[in-house]
Amino acid sequence: MFRAFKLGDGTEVVLRALRWGDLDDMLELHNELIDEEAMIGGDRRMTRDEQVDRHALLMKEVEGGRSVVVVAEIGGKAVGQTNARKRGGRQSHTAGLGLFVRRTWRGRGVGSELMRELEVQARRIGVEVLFLEVYSVSPAVELYGRLGYTEYGRLPGGIKYQGGYVDAVSMYKRIAG
């Protein structure tokens, strides 16, 4: 466990490392995001078998110090996660991150706490720069800005979403070094 905090309504949230046993919660989280057409990179549901492979790979990467994952747990259930994966070679001090929170728990501070903890954990594996990509129309742009991320690039029409194109905004934050 990394730490715990309370939401405005008193709900306790535990921030902790990823476990093998998070497999099914992670599958549920992913497929819920797909069903609601959330602004994430993925665009199709995963089968349990696909998730098993993805989960195994992620567990392996965490074990090897190439990735970090922070899970938010409420009432024994994983309701969100953020992860960062180090790039290779001369870019291995930089890591690309993703943030995923179940719909009912959004807008209540879970995401920003996950991101804060991710910085702490990422530093432990030698990450100096975190970067991310976000839909230009996503409310998360504002969240990342508040957390200290700066826009460093924008890919015009980089994302196909709901029949149209939106820009992919790239943001980064220097967390060490």
3-state secondary structure of 42: coil
Q: Compose the 99-118 pattern: x for residues touching other proteins by CB under 8 A, - for all others.
A: --------------------
Report if residue 87 touches other proteins, rule: CB under 8 A. Answer: yes
Q: Tell me the closest approach of the beta carbon of residue 34 to other proteins, in angstroms.
A: 10
Gap between the Cα atoms of 177 and 175, Å rounded: 7
Number of Cβ within 10 Å of residue 165's Cβ equals 11
Binders of other proteins among 38-77, rule CB under 8 A?
40-44
3-state secondary structure of 115: helix
β-bridge pairing 150-161 and 77-86: unpaired
Size of residue set near other proteins by CB under 8 A: 31
Residues that bind other proteins (CB under 8 A): 40-44, 87-91, 93-94, 128-129, 131, 151-161, 168, 170, 172, 174, 177
